[in-house]
Structure 1
């Protein structure tokens, strides 16, 4: 793998830490800025909404920029808004910085995906995507607990300063070593080069993204991520209210989920080729069974930890494979394909916890979140199953 992929992964690690660390900082933000806890918690939703809208918008905006300028510009803006967030005493300003941070994060990730896959041969695109997304999973394992510790010891602002500082080495390396242009796997120069072909290509790319295979891949990615985050958002509550664990055990549970996620991303990166083949469909079919198992066994400590690790691996492995799938079937949209994959993942991350909240509100049971995950994952499996019907001949549509 090109060394530059690991520079991108470092930046994604910092951005993933910023996205997920809010869950442990909400009480401190609420106290410091004198706002209700519910208002402080809305910072997480604001970030997710910014990612959904920001991914395609930022990718389209930067379509004519050289890749180095786009990556460095988005990352520099990410640093600046975290500095502003760390300094502000106004909740409205903090909320605005989270939205802007999400937009530029989405833009960076979309461009980084397209650069990562353009730097390697077609056969290694899955592994390149996995290297990039490993930054997200590592942020769950190490970044989020570290942010929580910083928040507990030095206040929530320290976590914002830490994210900004973590981005600086990546920004320096991106500014120095990022390609000014990347080539699409077909050998043509990407939109955004000096030729200025970006604007007319965007219309064709939007039409390409409306193809049935692309829409199916995007919907699968959204459903799988909705299932993942429906339960991830409630893991701490399940651990304390259902399993009866002390709050001090929650970071270990989240780390177990994150460690499984890292293994899943790594394994998927080596195995996936972007096809909706039997292996991926079987993986999607395993997801609802795993979430149902977590719901049933969540009253016991060891089964809960084991299920969290396994579901982290299965969920993020499937998510990585589906991102590779989107980039494969959306090869005619090299500028916007990665951004729409990012938007689909974040749409799932936004919708999943809302559905879980509705379910737990009706039943009063935190384990209902895992059943919501099982239902969402079952919908994804049902959507993918026709691709491997017995006796079905292979077609370009299932490629």
Structure 2
């Protein structure tokens, strides 16, 4: 990201005595988000066992999981207002420590209330970390915005791939609580690594409510954030029910197909970063590919066709976090903290709304209509992004 005298990140503080390479802060930031998002996805693989152990219904346990996204949607735009002057390294480390406490609470939860509180704290930690990680990364490693965005998104993709199968293995083996205990330990390790890898990162002088108000006056940013909601909703209308769509065509191949979705996602992350100098094209093509993957999933009648659908779906969807993160920071250069907070809020809101809508449609009309709605939303987002001009990087 090209910086100016009024940009959100002042010139970086360097410490020649540390001997750290430029990649170290980026790796530490990506590891932190990977652990956080893995914690978010763990419950999906252990839900029946967790509900049975706590003496609650699966639907009630699902409400606790949904609380993670709801807490994130509320936290992302507000955390900079509540802590406008806190050093951003200290803030990120504190959020990882909070995630460790939240995971430990879930690991020892005797009932629904403690489970719910743990997920609320975890959602706040994820949203806060995701909101600040990019700006902190560009401060610690200036001029590498596309590398930082790609690395953070890769962390999310790896977590998406690992979280569900890991949860399933733990539920079938030593027990679901061990997964959250391990996540608590890893969160503390990530906090220590981040504290060591990053320099102090002072808050922007204008951070807080005033910055958010000014960002919301940018019509292109507001339009882009609305389109982020549309495209992410398009994915999460369908993604929670991906196993149903797969089993209708290729029963018994669910894990392999999910692995192909993840493989496509890894390449989608890398492609979005590689072609970030053509951002308008990337942010338009990503939802087109997502829509194409959803349609291919609907039409697939054989294992090879479903495999192709998974790769295209994963590729397109996992371009979206990188592309939209770069997009919002480019259209709102002077208030990137607020722009990124709005992007994260859009993601969390869309995840919640998409899963709720998809579940309602699935129960009434089946997975085919779910996939069509997702594809239509992604196509609308593609048309919207294609019509919005993006400043040069």
TM-score normalized by structure 2?
Answer: 0.88
Q: Separation in 1 of the partners of 2:65 and 2:377?
A: 21
Partner of 1:222: 229
Partner of 1:137: 157
Query: CA shift at 1:326, angstroms?
Result: 0.9
Q: Separation in 1 of the partners of 2:200 and 2:391?
A: 34
Determine if the alignment matches structure 1 residue 30 to structure 2 residue 51: yes
Q: Secondary structure at the match of 1:25?
A: helix
TM alignment of 1:333-352, pairs within 5 A: 333-352=335-354
Q: Separation in 2 of the partners of 1:74 and 1:278?
A: 34
Query: CA shift at 1:355, angstroms?
Result: 2.2
Query: CA shift at 1:49, angstroms?
Result: 0.6
Q: Separation in 2 of the partners of 1:176 and 1:205?
A: 30
Q: Separation in 1 of the partners of 2:87 and 2:114?
A: 31
1:295 pairs, out of 295, 298, 317, with: 298
2:35 pairs, out of 10, 14, 30, with: 14
Partner of 2:259: 255
Q: Separation in 2 of the partners of 1:21 and 1:108?
A: 18
1:213 pairs, out of 210, 220, 245, with: 220
Query: CA shift at 1:198, angstroms?
Result: 4.6
Q: Deviations over 1:340-398 (max 9, x none)?
A: 111111112112222222322331x22322112111112212322334xxxxxxx6779
Partner of 2:379: 378
Determine if the alignment matches structure 1 residue 234 to structure 2 residue 241: yes
TM alignment of 1:1-399, pairs within 5 A: 2-122=23-143, 124-181=144-201, 190-191=203-204, 197-198=205-206, 202-240=209-247, 242-246=248-252, 249-273=253-277, 275=279, 277-297=280-300, 299-363=301-365, 365-387=366-388
Structure 2 CA distance for partners of 1:252 and 1:61, relative to 1, 3 Å: farther
Q: Deviations over 1:118-176 (max 9, x none)?
A: 33445x31221111121110012223312221222111101101211222221111122
Q: Separation in 1 of the partners of 2:387 and 2:192?
A: 47
Indicate conservation of the 8 Å contact 1:63/1:335, yes or no.
no
Partner of 2:14: none
Indicate conservation of the 8 Å contact 1:67/1:179, yes or no.
no
Indicate conservation of the 8 Å contact 1:274/1:326, yes or no.
no
Q: Separation in 1 of the partners of 2:278 and 2:89?
A: 27
Indicate conservation of the 8 Å contact 2:331/2:391, yes or no.
no
Q: Separation in 1 of the partners of 2:378 and 2:392?
A: 20
Query: CA shift at 1:226, angstroms?
Result: 1.3
Indicate conservation of the 8 Å contact 1:274/1:325, yes or no.
no
Query: CA shift at 1:324, angstroms?
Result: 0.9
* Aligned-CA RMSD value: 2.1
Indicate conservation of the 8 Å contact 1:214/1:330, yes or no.
yes
Q: Deviations over 1:236-276 (max 9, x none)?
A: 11222x12513xx322222221221111111111211484x
Q: Separation in 1 of the partners of 2:322 and 2:227?
A: 12
**Matched residues, number:** 372
Structure 2 CA distance for partners of 1:231 and 1:82, relative to 1, 3 Å: same
Q: Separation in 1 of the partners of 2:281 and 2:149?
A: 21
Q: Deviations over 1:209-260 (max 9, x none)?
A: 33111012212222221122222111111222x12513xx322222221221
Query: CA shift at 1:181, angstroms?
Result: 1.5
Indicate conservation of the 8 Å contact 1:356/1:368, yes or no.
no
* Structure 2 residues without counterparts, runs of 5 or longer: 1-21
Q: Separation in 1 of the partners of 2:32 and 2:282?
A: 31
Indicate conservation of the 8 Å contact 2:71/2:123, yes or no.
yes
Indicate conservation of the 8 Å contact 2:45/2:163, yes or no.
no
Q: Separation in 2 of the partners of 1:351 and 1:99?
A: 17
Q: Separation in 2 of the partners of 1:171 and 1:305?
A: 38
Decide which moves more: 29-38 or 302-311. Answer: 302-311
